[in-house]
Amino acid sequence: MLRAAPTVGPTLLAASLAAALPLPACAPPAEEPDAGLPDGPTVLWVEPADGATDVAINPIVRVGVSDHLDDRTVSGGAFKLYSGPLSYWMMAYYDPVARRVVAWPSSKLRENAEWVFEAQAGIEARDGGPLAAGRLTGFRTGAATGDDQPFAAAEYLGDIAPIFGSRCASCHGGAAPIAGLALDTGAGVVDTALGIPSDGDAEMDRVTPARPGQSFLIYKIIDDAPVSGDRMPRSFDEDAPAAPLSPDEQQIISDWIAGGAAIGP
C-alpha cells in the first residue's frame, strides 16, 4: 500500500534551504576616522624635487611642513629611501627654525639609479596630527659626490657665544641668572642648559644636543612657537621691546644644536 509523502510547509522549506545554501560573507563596517585627532601637517616642498636627475650620491633630503613636528617621531626609521629591493637606513631630525625635516642616507647611494623617498606611518605634529605616510619624492642619482651638509657648521666661541653674550646674557647671566639659565659662559651653558629639563615643557630639555626639535631654547626664540611663555629675548621695558633674534641668528643656534652643541674646540 502506497503512502503519500509528508507535506513540507513553506516555513520549514525556507529554513532547510537557508541551512543548505552558502550565505554571502558580511563585510565589516567601514572604520570611521578618529574625530579626536587634529588635522595632520601637510608637505609644502621637498628637495630634491620629484623627478630630479643627476642628484649627488650623498644627497640631503629636506621636507618643508606646514606645522611643527614632534621631533620624537622624526627618526631614521620614520623614512625609507629605496631603489627596487635596495634600501638605505636614514638619519633625520626636525629643524623648527626652518620648519623642515632634514634626512640623509647612512652611506653613499648607488650611481645612476632611480630612488624613492617615503614617509612611514607614525610621524606626528606637536598637536598629535599625523603626517600622511607615502611617497614624498623620487629622483635619479648621477655619479658625483656633493658637498651639501645636513646643517651648517657652527662653533660655540665664534658663532654662539657672541649671540648669547649680546642678546641673552643681560638676563641669563651673572650671579643670579633668571630661571637659573646661565648663557654668559660656556660653563654656564653646560651646567644650566645642555641636557637640563625645561621648566616650560616637561617633554623637552633646554638644549638637547643633536636635536633642535627637542630643545626648548629653540622654541623660545622663534615667532610661531607651540610653547607657553613670552618669546625671547624680551625686555622688561614695555616702551622699548627687545628685537627678536634675526633669522640668521636663529638658524645658527639651531645648526649648532644639530651639530651636537659642543662648547670646546
Tens-place pLDDT, residues 148-199: 999 999 999 999 999 999 999 999 999 999 999 999 999 999 999 999 999 8
> 638644549: which residue's cell?
207
- Report pLDDT for 224: 79
Determine the distance from the C-alpha atom of residue 19 to the mean position of all C-alpha atoms in its chain, rounded to a whole number. 56
- Report pLDDT for 13: 36
Residue 215 phi/psi, 5-degree rounding, is -115, 115
- % residues pLDDT > 70 (the chain): 85
- Report pLDDT for 241: 78
pTM: 0.83
- Report pLDDT for 265: 60
| Residue 33 pLDDT greater than 60, yes or no | no
Burial class (CB in 10 A: 0-12, 13-18, 19+), 158: exposed
- Report pLDDT for 261: 98
- Report pLDDT for 1: 43
22 preceded by a cis bond (ω within 30 of 0): no
Structure confidence by residue, pLDDT tens digits, 226-249: 776 788 888 777 777 789 999 999
Average pLDDT, the chain: 88
**CA gap 53, 34 in Å, rounded:** 40
115 and 138 in contact (C-beta within 8 Å)? yes
